[in-house]
A and B are shown apart, each in its own frame.
Chain A
Amino acid sequence: MSRHLSDIKLKIWRQAGPEAAGRFESYLVASISDEASFLELLDVLNEQLISEGREPVVFDHDCREGICGTCSLMIDGQAHGPQRGTGFDRIVESGGYITADTGGAPDANLIPIPKPVAEAAMDAAACIGCGACVAACPNGAANLFTAAKVAHLNLLPQGQAERFKRVEAMVETMDQYFGSCTNHGECEAACPKEISIDVIALMNQDYRKAKFKNRKTLSRR
């Protein structure tokens, strides 16, 4: 574990705002320890820039542990976030929940959940909402994100009551904000939590069923 120092050249896309013209700028960070993370490399660069009276690099980050999903960088073509806008929140607001007002819940052990089901739901629930899937997708589709939430809730017994209402609402909200899925699979490759595109199959299956089930319910009225 000897500390190795290297000089690192960075080419960073700089843009003053969403409407402003952008350009690549080159920077050199000298003698950086290999113990430093990439974000710490940017910290060092920013210290350097501020001391020279230049504008530091703006980047989103928070937990630096890979759990909060705030990161916003695309590094050497590999997405670490950030394409989500507020679309992800809108998708969850449209149905990514179980309606259970505070206070009325039955005892937690009343509904046994088989371990494999709980584990599969947890695999899907591990999504951190970073948006790397959207950034990596040639179509800018958010199917992996949406399907992970659908799978988490639709697999669980507690999620059955709203299963079909949920999937229909979430897919249709997703379509308002993001592109269409054409099964490239780039999302799965980019996902830091290794969420499988199997969840997309589950979502599509439930969506198809929902279109019939929900219509039938309406015609019965």
Chain B
Amino acid sequence: MTTDVITSAMTDASSAKLAGKSPIAAVPEMWETFKSDMKLVNPNNKRKFKVIVVGTGLAGASAAATLAELGYQVDAFTFHDSPRRAHSIAAQGGINAAKNYKGDGDSVHRLFYDTIKGGDFRARESNVHRLAEVSVDIIDQMVAQGVPFAREYGGLLDNRSFGGAQVSRTFYARGQTGQQLLIGAYQQMARQIGLGTVRLFNRCELVDTVVIDGRCAGIVTRDLVTGHVQSHAAHAVVLCTGGYGNVFFLSTNAMMCNVTAAWRAHQRGAFFANPCYTQIHPTCIPQADDTQSKLTLMSESLRNDGRVWVPAQAGDERSAADIPEGERDYYLERLYPSFGNLAPRDISSRAAKRAVDSGRGVGPLKNGVFLDFSDAVARLGKEVVQERYGNLFEMYERIAGEDPYAVPMRIYPASHYTMGGLWVDYELMTTVPGLYCAGEANFSDHGANRLGASALMQGLSDGYFVLPYTIGNYLAPMLNKPTPGVDHPQFKAAEAEARQRFQGYLDINGTRSPDWFHRELGKIIWNHCGMERTEQGLEQALTELPALYAEFQKDLRVTGDGSSLNQTLEKAGRVDDFFQLGMLMCRDALERRESCGGHFRSEFQDDEGEAKRDDEHFAHVAAWEWTGDPMRATRNVEPLDFTTVHLATRSYK
């Protein structure tokens, strides 16, 4: 690392633009302090405010429901046929909460500490502490709504443990926790739709956010069935539009997950923070062939009872059963004895990559490692294993064609979650006043690596327990003041721009489909900005990406028209945004000259291959400012102060 580099990273800092707005108090008292000091909107005045919520996953559905309960008028948007399809539904393993129901020493402080440490000291302490505080309310709320969490025989709630924690604090509903929580939040929102306090717009996609006189004034949407482009005005807009993991093309995200809403907001002034922090989940089913369209996650909860191993010798062709105990390498247990198979995701993923790269991969394509349940079956009996993981085993058998009770599962890391996202302050407001961002779409709580069972917690925390408080603080002074309506020229201009954009894709009339470009884009990002990054690789990606993007703009082919259901046209817009985001990701990864969490730069590791953080120069959030071209975005810095947790090297040994 040269001194020049450090200077460039630090001098482009203009942290004045990034006021985190954490309350002035000791970290554990901040949330109470905020709630005592915030401005309130009288219950009878709340109906005078309209709030738009985009996305109906955990964060969106819970925010829409709660804001409506409080009395605000809410317009909720989903691009699915029903709000219940949101990708939160696919989360399997569980949700953390500092309930300490197991009496094993858990507490708000411990959950806060684990999350800060798990995030490799790259998250804001104030936000994370609040998350740990409200985690207990989430469980109460979801049980009251009828979420059928797993129970013990006495009728009390059951817990299990998850990666990166040494206590059992994870609540679960079989292997379908995300589904059950989403349906819970969806039902709560459905109640408000029935009452007329939430208006739902389905099959409707955000194409732009509109900023007038420095405030977010609303959004522009496109109806996916009719192609109709329309403006919607509001006092505040909340984006709960999920992560950008599909930039890799192959990921565990659902096919329609995309960055469009966040990216278009970025283009209107919302800073994009830490795009290089992407999570590669260690337990996915390995790619089977070239037609593969997505990867399937096997819940991390499996690592509670499964043991990860590869043959000790490279090139071992024997089947798992024929490899004697002494010739197996249980590498996680060997390298990280105190956490073993429950080491955090980033660490487990890199260890799997190294095992495969060393020629010890298993399966027909030698692209996986074993996750073996034979010890668990012997210890607990097949019945208990079935009760815990039955549906996951079935899913595996359906996809991989092998019975995991008989043959060890094969797993390999895949893109799964993105810690980066729109920059938000303590109140979850972006750098555009009136524009909020919640759930996976924001950057706030997970630092450089998210712990298992924390995504559901964060989505619901933001939607149920944070936004409903913080949004009032912004709206209160706007009472009875006029706000621009949809006939404002800026709405009209944004609509025209949106129509032009879609017509533009149709007019290229080249030869390649959006999917073809997406696949090629994904390969570049996976190879150079995946589990391991190097300066040289990132620079190569930053040469290849603009070239491929130029080809996209010249050679894209979208059939059909813009005034009816056209899935190819939808895809074109999403891939366009992924290209631009991909460039920003690589730039962010290049500028962050350290290894931390999910961001591993080969140049920065210790003798044992562990990540080497550089707290002196990089204990900050990098928030990028749009300048018209992602290759020339400006890097702003929000320094991270650690007053409650001491910066330490993360060790899971």
Interface residues of A (CB under 8 A from B): 1-3, 16-17, 32-33, 35-37, 39-41, 43-44, 46-47, 49-51, 53-56, 58, 60-70, 84, 86, 88-89, 92-109, 111-115, 118-119, 121-122, 125-126, 128-129, 152-153, 156, 158-159
Task: Please determine whether B293 and A43 come into contact, CB atoms closer than 8 angstroms.
Answer: yes
- Given A43-B291, A43-B515, A53-B559 in contact, is the A102-B66 Cβ separation under 8 Å? yes
Question: Which residues of A sit under 8 angstroms from B141, Cβ to Cβ?
Answer: 100, 102-103, 105
Contacting residues of chain B (67-88) with chain A, CB-CB under 8 angstroms: 69, 80-85, 87
- Given A64-B255, A118-B150 in contact, is the A40-B190 Cβ separation under 8 Å? no
Task: Please determine whether A158 and B173 come into contact, CB atoms closer than 8 angstroms.
Answer: no
Q: Is B174 an interface residue (CB 8 A)?
A: yes
Q: Is B609 an interface residue (CB 8 A)?
A: no
Complex CA distance for A98 and B363, rounded to whole angstroms: 47
Number of B residues contacting the other chain (C-beta, 8 Å)? 79
Question: Which residues of A sit under 8 angstroms from B511, Cβ to Cβ?
Answer: 51
Residue among A41, A43, A46, A100 facing the most chain B CB atoms (10 A cut-off): A100
Please give me the 4 A-B residue pairs with the lowest Cβ-Cβ distance, nearest first. Answer: A112-B155, A93-B194, A105-B144, A97-B187
Q: Is B183 an interface residue (CB 8 A)?
A: yes
Complex CA distance for A208 and B217, rounded to whole angstroms: 50
Q: Is B489 an interface residue (CB 8 A)?
A: no
Task: Please determine whether B254 and A64 come into contact, CB atoms closer than 8 angstroms.
Answer: yes
Q: Which of the residues A1, A35, A51 comes within 8 Å of B291, measured between beta carbons? A: A35
- Given A53-B557, A122-B148 in contact, is the A68-B194 Cβ separation under 8 Å? no
Task: Please determine whether B146 and A62 come into contact, CB atoms closer than 8 angstroms.
Answer: no
Question: Which residues of A sit under 8 angstroms from B101, Cβ to Cβ?
Answer: 109
Complex CA distance for A65 and B295, rounded to whole angstroms: 9
Complex CA distance for A36 and B564, rounded to whole angstroms: 30
Complex CA distance for A209 and B140, rounded to whole angstroms: 30
Task: Please determine whether B151 and A3 come into contact, CB atoms closer than 8 angstroms.
Answer: no
Complex CA distance for A179 and B294, rounded to whole angstroms: 37
Task: Please determine whether A114 and B468 come into contact, CB atoms closer than 8 angstroms.
Answer: no
User: What residue of chain A has the Cβ atom nearest to residue B463's Cβ?
Assistant: A102
Task: Please determine whether B179 and A67 come into contact, CB atoms closer than 8 angstroms.
Answer: yes
Chain B 207-248 interface 0/1 with A at a Cβ cutoff of 8 Å (1 = within) = 000000000000000000000000000000000000000000
B455 to chain A: closest CB distance in Å? 15
Complex CA distance for A212 and B474, rounded to whole angstroms: 49
Q: List 21 A-B contacts (CB under 8 A).
A: A54-B559, A64-B294, A64-B296, A65-B296, A67-B90, A68-B85, A68-B89, A70-B80, A89-B84, A92-B187, A93-B191, A96-B190, A97-B145, A104-B144, A106-B144, A108-B99, A111-B143, A112-B154, A122-B148, A126-B174, A128-B179
Complex CA distance for A161 and B137, rounded to whole angstroms: 22
- Given A86-B202, A93-B191, A96-B190 in contact, is the A106-B145 Cβ separation under 8 Å? no
- Given A53-B559, A67-B90 in contact, is the A47-B288 Cβ separation under 8 Å? no
Task: Please determine whether A109 and B156 come into contact, CB atoms closer than 8 angstroms.
Answer: yes
Task: Please determine whether A33 and B559 come into contact, CB atoms closer than 8 angstroms.
Answer: no
Complex CA distance for A99 and B85, rounded to whole angstroms: 22
Task: Please determine whether B183 and A125 come into contact, CB atoms closer than 8 angstroms.
Answer: yes
Question: Which residues of A sit under 8 angstroms from B82, Cβ to Cβ?
Answer: 84, 86, 88-89, 129
Chain B 504-517 interface 0/1 with A at a Cβ cutoff of 8 Å (1 = within) = 00000001110110
A186 to chain B: closest CB distance in Å? 23
Chain B 176-215 interface 0/1 with A at a Cβ cutoff of 8 Å (1 = within) = 1001100100111011011000001010000000000000
Complex CA distance for A56 and B148, rounded to whole angstroms: 41
User: What residue of chain A has the Cβ atom nearest to residue B152's Cβ?
Assistant: A115
Task: Please determine whether B289 and A112 come into contact, CB atoms closer than 8 angstroms.
Answer: no
Complex CA distance for A102 and B294, rounded to whole angstroms: 36
Q: Is B565 an interface residue (CB 8 A)?
A: yes
Question: Which residues of A sit under 8 angstroms from B564, Cβ to Cβ?
Answer: 16-17
Complex CA distance for A37 and B90, rounded to whole angstroms: 18
Task: Please determine whether A156 and B146 come into contact, CB atoms closer than 8 angstroms.
Answer: yes
Q: Which of the residues B149, B157, B364, B557 comes within 8 Å of A1, measured between beta carbons? A: B364
User: What residue of chain A has the Cβ atom nearest to residue B176's Cβ?
Assistant: A126
User: What residue of chain B has the Cβ atom nearest to residue A50's Cβ?
Assistant: B513
B77 to chain A: closest CB distance in Å? 14
Q: Which of the residues B62, B139, B144, B401 comes within 8 Å of A158, measured between beta carbons? A: B144
Task: Please determine whether A94 and B255 come into contact, CB atoms closer than 8 angstroms.
Answer: no
Complex CA distance for A64 and B464, rounded to whole angstroms: 29
- Given A1-B364, A36-B291 in contact, is the A115-B559 Cβ separation under 8 Å? no
Task: Please determine whether A69 and B85 come into contact, CB atoms closer than 8 angstroms.
Answer: yes
What would 20 more interface pairs be, CB under 8 Å, given A63-B254, A101-B69, A121-B148?
A: A1-B401, A2-B364, A33-B291, A37-B293, A40-B293, A46-B515, A50-B559, A51-B513, A64-B294, A65-B296, A67-B89, A70-B81, A84-B82, A89-B83, A96-B187, A105-B144, A114-B155, A115-B151, A115-B152, A126-B179
Question: Which residues of B sit under 8 angstroms from A103, Cβ to Cβ?
Answer: 137, 141
Question: Which residues of A sit under 8 angstroms from B560, Cβ to Cβ?
Answer: 55
User: What residue of chain B has the Cβ atom nearest to residue A93's Cβ?
Assistant: B194
A195 to chain B: closest CB distance in Å? 13
Question: Which residues of B sit under 8 angstroms from A62, Cβ to Cβ?
Answer: 80, 85, 87, 254-256
Q: Which of the residues B155, B174, B194 comes within 8 Å of A94, measured between beta carbons? A: B194
User: What residue of chain B has the Cβ atom nearest to residue A35's Cβ?
Assistant: B288
Complex CA distance for A35 and B401, rounded to whole angstroms: 10
User: What residue of chain B has the Cβ atom nearest to residue A90's Cβ?
Assistant: B194
Complex CA distance for A158 and B188, rounded to whole angstroms: 14
B239 to chain A: closest CB distance in Å? 19
- Given A62-B255, A97-B188 in contact, is the A3-B289 Cβ separation under 8 Å? yes
Q: Is B292 an interface residue (CB 8 A)?
A: yes
Task: Please determine whether B152 and A39 come into contact, CB atoms closer than 8 angstroms.
Answer: no
Task: Please determine whether B291 and A32 come into contact, CB atoms closer than 8 angstroms.
Answer: yes
Complex CA distance for A81 and B425, rounded to whole angstroms: 42
Task: Please determine whether B187 and A56 come into contact, CB atoms closer than 8 angstroms.
Answer: no
Complex CA distance for A50 and B187, rounded to whole angstroms: 40
Question: Which residues of A sit under 8 angstroms from B559, Cβ to Cβ?
Answer: 49-50, 53-56
Question: Which residues of A sit under 8 angstroms from B568, Cβ to Cβ?
Answer: 50, 56
Q: Is B65 an interface residue (CB 8 A)?
A: yes
